[in-house]
Amino acid sequence: MTSRYFGERVLRLEDTRLLTGRALFVDDVQLPGMLHVAFLRSDEAHARITSIDVTAARTRPGVIAVYTAADLGDYWRPGPLLVPPPPIQGLVFNTATQVPLAKDKVRHAGEPLAMVVAESRYVAEDALEDIQVDLEPLPAVTELEAALAEGAPLVHEQFGSNLAAQVRQTKGDYAAARATAHTIITRRFHYDRGASAAIENRAVAAQWDARAEELTIWDTTQAPIPIRNGLAPMLGLRESQVRVIAPFIGGGFGPKIMMYYPEEVLVPWAAMRLQRPVKWTEDRRENFYATTQERGQLHDAELAVAKDGTILGVRDRFLHDTGAYDPYGLTVPINSQCTLLGPYVVPNYESEFTAVFTTKPIVTPVRGAGRQHGVFVMERLLDFAARELGIDRVEIRRRNLIPRDAFPYDHEILFQDFRPLVYDSGDYQAALDKAVEVSGYARFVREEQPRLRREGKHIGLGVVSYIEGTGIGPYEGARVTIEPSGTVRLATGVGTQGQGHFTTFAQIVADVLGVTPDAVQVTTGDTREFSWGSGTFASRGAVVAGSACHAAALKVRDRILTVAAPLLGVPGDELEISGGQVRVRGATDRAIGLGELARKANPLRGAVTPGTEPGLEATAYFGPDRGNTANGVHAIFVEVDPETAAVTILRYVVVHDCGTVINPLVVEAQVQGGVAHGIGNSFYEQLSFDENGQLLNASFMDYLLPTALDVPTVEMAHLETPSPLNPLGTKGVGEAGAIPTAAAFAQAIEDALPDSGLEITEMPLSPCRLYELLVAARERRTDA
């Protein structure tokens, strides 16, 4: 492959459509006769449904239909379990998946009770006011430990407790390691929920074409193909009768990979039943309740270390808040369990988690998907160990990094993809060294920080390492076609939410086929164009779908050579493909354009050799043996006002290694965006539920997303340790930026206030919460 575009900062091909307002988002779908939906949602977090009376709503002018659970008949059924638990010995898992409309009982505020279909959204919302609902409130289940206590109110009575799952994974003999330790660091860590907060809320539109007997669904999903595969049998249709289109999606960040949301199941059903197009678009308030969330965990962890800081073992017991239902299985807590090990040699590990049902919105992956928690716990434990042992915090990390010659490195536990947690490649020392160099760590600690402190400035530095398991299976596919126009069409199944797939996939194919990226027309997320695949999640688009694009392009390249060889009168290996032509090597006048070749490969008359396939087209698939492991180091400089607890980020440095980079422009932007998300999760964003399970900050007025004033421009350095698990050598990067931010933040704040006695063991912080922690630390010191 003569590389010309792979690795280059190619400007994005999708931008013009987005910049001019022509790009289609789901809510832009408007069809003649379209009806609009509003949902009546529960005001209570936990309640028995005594009655729902929709009589008045049904008679309101403009209302076409009102449905409750009772009206759904056989269509009412809990959603499928999306991710079954991995085969871990002794694992306990209680399945309770979401239902289309609540029947008998509601289990979180915002759970839908009734669906109104009307001529306009305005009328549909008017009709919600007409519905009489009697709910008998039950005690909410909001605290994880209380949820497991004897006599706690039950979210799902059939299980006899609120235990959703219990999983224990071990490696080595932690108890024995503990007995030999010089120091044991024991802490409790709390991570709370945030919102994914894509600026585009969810939406679903559906149109039943009775003549063609085809259903078209536009859906803000990260997984259009599985949505089609699941909805078709639910609706009594063949898969081929259902087309799911995930057009431009206004940010995914995880919750759009959750599948068979109530609205997603009900809107197509209503469109078929009413024989009219139907659309529902979530509003922002609904998004805070009805779109899945993440990050509630409570860890009791301990680190056993030798005197020199060598990690002897880790024990972690944690509770994971899965919300009212657990359709996404154990992906999030298993990510936490695995990612805790980080880039370190941990010879003995004992990790047990209990997933807990609560009366809060459903938990499924959000950018990072549980990895944050593991990184936070491990990095914090190392910080406390370093302090107690009097070892420099970078040095304690360096002493424990997996050596560069130890790959593939087996952690001896199972990862979320059901495969052993084996890291494929990496150079963790190099990443740490680079971060130390770029951040100026040594000079800062030795010279600048003491000087700043003398000047009364409270400036701290945090340096943390992380790994991210990315690019997991099972597989993705792609079809490459050279059209008679000379345009290369590339279709792949994954949906796109802003990652630049239209460009990066085009770069991969362009190099193989000797064309420019803008000659490659990419289609993603339309089941009619490509109907095999699983979706965009786990930072896997470039790795898995990208590799499939590469494989399909190679097959087409072979086709080009096979078809062109007899036409140009030389063997295929004497041909080269470039500039949109295939030509005899060294003879520029003996060439044929790819478009013309495509026409010749599709004759209208005459005979061909039996077995010949027409056209220049190929489909290929790629499934990795297991996920690969990206890594990096974040360094953050903050200034803290010890009186007000206001924090200013002065610098943010990221060294990251996502294997071979397809497009540095895109990779850097993914990291920058991830860091912004991480900053939000660390310092601004917290979903505040009260003891009744009511969300107190369900608006952008009260739930603070970081703005341009809060997010610095990240200084970045790339390292490239190619992955041996795919032909491109790439690893995922989509989630990386968001993963270690909280750990870096915590270390930096403590470093800024070294005499405060402050110890940060919870996330997210806020200026108010940090102030409280500072006051508490001050009081502790005064008492002492």
Q: Which residues bind other proteins (CB under 8 A)?
A: 11-12, 14-16, 18-25, 27-28, 30, 121-122, 197-201, 248-253, 281, 283-284, 497-500, 665-666, 669, 672-677, 699-701, 705, 707-709, 711-714, 737
C-alpha dihedral (249, 252, 258, 263), degrees to nearest 10: -40
Q: Are 383 and 395 in contact (CB under 8 A)?
A: no
Q: Which helix (H) or strand (E) element contains residue 558?
A: helix 546-568
Q: For residues 281 and 547, which CB has a smaller minimum distance to other proteins in the complex?
A: 281
Give the containing element (helix H, strand E) for 624: none
Residue number, 207 or 351, with CB nearest to other proteins: 207
Dist CA 582 CA 296 (whole Å) = 57
CB of 653 to other proteins, least distance (A): 13
Which lies closer to other proteins via its Cβ, residue 21 or residue 611?
21
Residue type, 38: A
Beta bridge partners of 587: 584
Report, in Å, the least distance between residue 761 CB and other proteins: 27
Between strands 278-281 and 488-492, the pairing is unpaired
Residue in 178, 238, 186 with CA at minimum distance from that of residue 213:
238
In whole angstroms, what is the distance from residue 320 CA to residue 323 CA?
9
* In the complex, least distance from residue 382 CB atom to other proteins, rounded to whole angstroms: 27
Q: Which two tokens stand for residue 510?
A: 């362009």
User: Smallest distance, Å, CB 251 to other proteins?
Assistant: 5
CB of 667 to other proteins, least distance (A): 11
229: helix, strand or coil: helix
Minimum gap (Å) between residue 147 Cβ and other proteins: 31
Euclidean distance between CA atoms 630 and 469, whole angstroms = 6
Smallest gap from residue 227 Cβ to other proteins (A):
19
Residue 46 DSSP label: S
| Residue number with CB closer to other proteins (337 or 524) | 524
Q: How far is the CB of 197 from other proteins (least distance, A)?
A: 6
Interacting residues of 379 by C-beta distance below 8 A, sequence separation 6+ = 342, 464, 465, 466, 740, 743, 744, 747
**Least CB distance from residue 18 to other proteins, whole Å?**
3
Residue 344 · residue 400 · CB < 8 Å: yes
Q: How far is CA 545 from CA 218, 460, 476, in A?
A: 22, 41, 5
Minimum CB separation of residue 633 from other proteins in Å reads 18
Q: Which is nearer to other proteins, 34 or 389 (CB)?
A: 34
**Cβ closer to other proteins: 133 or 666?**
666
Whether omega for the bond prior to residue 347 falls within 30 degrees of 0, making it cis, is no
How far is CA 111 from each of CA 81, 106, 296, 493, 558, rounded to the nearest angstrom?
Answer: 18, 7, 19, 31, 54
Strand 311-323 versus strand 349-357 pairing type: parallel
Q: Which two tokens stand for residue 647?
A: 């924090």
The residue among 281 and 364 lying less far from other proteins, judged by its C-beta, is 281
Instruction: Report the alpha-carbon distance of residue 146 to residue 596 in Å, rounded.
Output: 71
Nearer to other proteins, 602 or 707 (CB): 707
Cβ–Cβ < 8 Å for 51, 135: no
Burial (CB count within 10 angstroms: exposed 0-12, middle 13-18, buried 19+), residue 610? exposed
Cα–Cα distance for residue pair 332/338, rounded to 1 Å: 10
For other proteins, the closer of residues 286 and 417 by Cβ is: 286
CB-nearer residue toward other proteins: 24 or 92: 24
Beta carbon nearer to other proteins, 75 or 700: 700
Contact 132, 52 (CB under 8 A): yes
Could you check whether the bond before residue 233 is cis, i.e. omega within 30 degrees of 0?
no
Task: Supply the minimum distance, in Å, between the C-beta of residue 713 and other proteins.
Answer: 4
| Residue entry with tokens 């969300």 | 695
As a 3-state breakdown, the chain gives helix, strand, coil percent values, each rounded to 5, of 30, 25, 40
Which DSSP helix (H) or strand (E) runs through 663? none
CB neighbour class for 698 (10 Å; exposed up to 12, middle 13-18, buried from 19):
buried
Sign of CA dihedral 316, 319, 320, 326: positive
The count of other CB atoms within 10 Å of the CB of residue 681 is: 29
Judged by beta carbon, residue 253 or residue 745, the one nearer other proteins is 253
Cβ-based nearer residue to other proteins, 1 or 24? 24
Q: Least distance (Å) from other proteins to the CB of residue 487?
A: 17
Q: How far is the CB of 737 from other proteins (least distance, A)?
A: 8
Q: Which is nearer to other proteins, 467 or 711 (CB)?
A: 711
Residue 392, both tokens: 């420099």
And the tokens for 359? 């009366």
Cβ nearer to other proteins, comparing 234 with 705: 705
Closest C-alpha to 51, from 88, 102, 91: 102
The nearest distance, CB 431 to other proteins, in angstroms, is 21
CA distance 488 to 502: 12
Minimum CB separation of residue 614 from other proteins in Å reads 34
Least CB distance to other proteins at residue 391 (A): 33
Nearer to other proteins, 11 or 149 (CB): 11
For residues 284 and 398, which CB has a smaller minimum distance to other proteins in the complex? 284
For the bound state, the minimum distance from the C-beta of residue 682 to other proteins, rounded and expressed in Å, comes to 14
